[in-house]
Amino acid sequence: MDGGKESIIMSPRNIRIIGAAEMFDTVSRDITKVEDVNPRIISLYEKQFVSGQFIGAIGPLKGKHLLDVGIGWGTTSRAFLESGAIVTGLDVSSESLNLARRYLSCYSDRLTIVHGDITEYPYPSHVYDIACSIRTMCYIKNKQLAIGAMVSMLCSGGVIALCLKPKASVPDVYETDSRAFQIEGWPCRIEELVSILRTLNCKILMKKRIINKVPVIKPMGACIGFWLIAKKRT
Ligand SMILES: C[S@@+](CC[C@H](N)C(=O)[O-])C[C@H]1O[C@@H](n2cnc3c(N)ncnc32)[C@H](O)[C@@H]1O
C-alpha cells in the first residue's frame, strides 16, 4: 500500500486518543509469554531500575506488603518478589495481567493480582508498607485521585514511590499495522506530583533524575526519567 502507515500518522482524523486499558491490551495481546520479549528490556526493568535503583533507595523488602500500581507484565514486581515482598499488583489491562500471572506463577503464594483502575479501585485503608507505581503515572489522567488512593492504602510511615518516564521515551503516536493512536494521560510533571504528595501530608525523601545510559527501546520506550519517593507522615 502506497505510504499506508504514513498517511495514518499524517491524518489527524485517523488518530484516536485512547485509554491505558485499550493501549496495553493491544500491545500485550500479541505476546505469548514475557520470556519471549527482548531480554534486554526485561533485564533493564528487573535488574537495573528495580533491583539496582528502587530497592537500593528504599531498603530491604523482605516481608513488606507492597502495592504495585500498573503491574503490567510483572517484570518489575518480579524483582520485588525475588526480594521477599508480599505483592498486590493492580492493572487496568486484562491482557497484561494474563502475562503477569504466567510470568509470576512461581510466586503465587505471595502475590495477589487485581484487575482495576487505581482511580476507581475500592481500596482498603492502611494496609501497605510500600505503594509504588513504575512508569505508569503518565498514563493516568487524574493524578490527584491516583496518588490519593495510593497514600490512603499506606500504613502510617509507609513509603510511596513513583517512577516516571521521560516524555521523550514515549512516541507521540503509536502505530500498529492498521491503526494509529495517542495515549491519554500526559503531561506528567514532577512538580505537580510533588505538590500533590505534600498536600497529602507526605514528606519527600528523594527526587532524583535518572540519567539513562541505555537507548530508548521502541516502540514501548524503556527509559525512566525520575524517581520520586515520599513517606506518609505518622
Ligand atoms: C508502561 S506499563 C508499566 C508496567 C510495569 N510497572 C513496568 O514498569 O514494567 C504501564 C502499566 O500501567 C497500567 N495502568 C495505566 N493506567 C492505570 C490505572 N489507572 N490503574 C491501574 N493500572 C494502570 C497499564 O495498563 C500498564 O500495564
pLDDT recorded at residue 5? 34
CA 178 to chain centre: 26
124-138, 155-169, 178-192, 210-224: segment of lowest average pLDDT:
210-224
**Interatomic CA distance for residues 206 and 228, integer angstroms:** 6
Whether 231 contacts 202, CB under 8 Å? yes
Reply yes or no on whether the pLDDT at 209 is more than 80.
no
Considering the chain, what percentage of its residues have pLDDT values greater than 90?
Answer: 45
pTM: 0.86
Atom of ligand 1 nearest to the CA of 96: 27
Atom of ligand 1 nearest to the CA of 165: 1
Which H or E run contains 9?
helix 4-10
Reply yes or no on whether the pLDDT at 3 is more than 50.
no
Mean pLDDT score, 25-33: 88
Q: How confident is the model at residue 202 (pLDDT cuts 50, 70, 90)?
A: very high
Could you read off the pLDDT of 115-127 as tens digits, one per residue?
999 999 778 899 9
Most confident listed range (37-46, 88-97, 137-146): 88-97
| Residue 155 Cα to ligand 1 middle (Å) | 23
Under CATH, to which class is 4-232 assigned? alpha beta
pLDDT recorded at residue 179? 62
Reply yes or no on whether the pLDDT at 90 is more than 70.
yes
- 74 C-beta closer than 6 A to ligand 1: no
Q: Which residue in 111, 108, 99 sits closest to 37, CA to CA?
A: 99
Q: Which residue in 165, 180, 164 sits closest to 220, CA to CA?
A: 165
| Residue 198 Cα to ligand 1 middle (Å) | 24
Considering the chain, what percentage of its residues have pLDDT values greater than 70?
Answer: 71
Record the cell numbers describing residue 187, joined without a space: 503531561
Domain positions in the chain = 4-232
| Residue 72 Cα to ligand 1 middle (Å) | 5
Strand, coil or helix: 11? coil
